[in-house]
Chains A and B, each alone.
Chain A
Amino acid sequence: KAGVTQTPRYLIKTRGQQVTLSCSPISGHRSVSWYQQTPGQGLQFLFEYFSETQRNKGNFPGRFSGRQFSNSRSEMNVSTLELGDSALYLCASSSAGRRGGKNNEQFFGPGTRLTVL
């Protein structure tokens, strides 16, 4: 099976702009989680989607949003970019089911490196 893919791999934006990142999960996986990785804060959970519905959300401002499509592909959007949004954005997919609960293995993509100038 192909792994998790993320596009683009690198992005450079300026403050105030918005950005959309894309993630294609492993075939058959319906759960997609997003994380932000920075040297200072480490890996932090943004949100998780299952069957086009956001099931869980981390402690990030409303500028961070996401969605999931019927084919399980997911996008995340960051509006009004700030310098502090510079990070590696990772998505992970798992075979977790509708009831969630018991956590299954999460498999990560290579990430999108976002630089905000």
Chain B
Amino acid sequence: QQQVKQSPQSLIVQKGGISIINCAYENTAFDYFPWYQQFPGKGPALLIAIRPDVSEKKEGRFTISFNKSAKQFSLHIMDSQPGDSATYFCAASGKGSSNTGKLIFGQGTTLQVKP
């Protein structure tokens, strides 16, 4: 119940295309869903996050779509650029003392954007 399942494991997209990464969760107590971007040799950087009271959030070329009934959320990268080539992680967190400060991460998606 504490797992977050992420797919695909790897993704190759042409420059200018749309990259889509999906995540699914089981725990209905989760109430915070961030996405992180990680480049080799760096720590994860927060990209965008959503809470279950909205179905979509957009920041620049990055959009999170959230489907509460299906317990799924996805990251869309519009107009993908070679500089977006990185590993992307979805995560989830819940309320309560047992969840304080704890993010549960998906396994990651390695994105390659070809010029």
A55 in contact with B97 (CB, 8 Å): yes
The 6 closest A-B pairs by CB, nearest first: A48-B101, A100-B100, A108-B43, A43-B105, A103-B93, A33-B101
A56 in contact with B43 (CB, 8 Å): no
B100 in contact with A55 (CB, 8 Å): yes
**Which of A's residues lie within 8 Å of B, judged by CB?**
4, 31-33, 35, 42-45, 48-50, 55-56, 58, 90, 92, 94, 96, 100-103, 105-111
Is B32 in contact with chain A by the CB < 8 A criterion? yes
Closest to A91 in B: B43
Range class of the B interface residue count:
20 to 34
Which chain B residues border A33 with CB–CB below 8 Å? 101-103
B101 in contact with A56 (CB, 8 Å): yes
Is B85 in contact with chain A by the CB < 8 A criterion? no
Which chain B residues border A100 with CB–CB below 8 Å? 97, 100-101
What are 6 pairs between A and B in contact, CB < 8 Å?
A: A42-B107, A43-B89, A50-B101, A55-B97, A56-B101, A101-B97
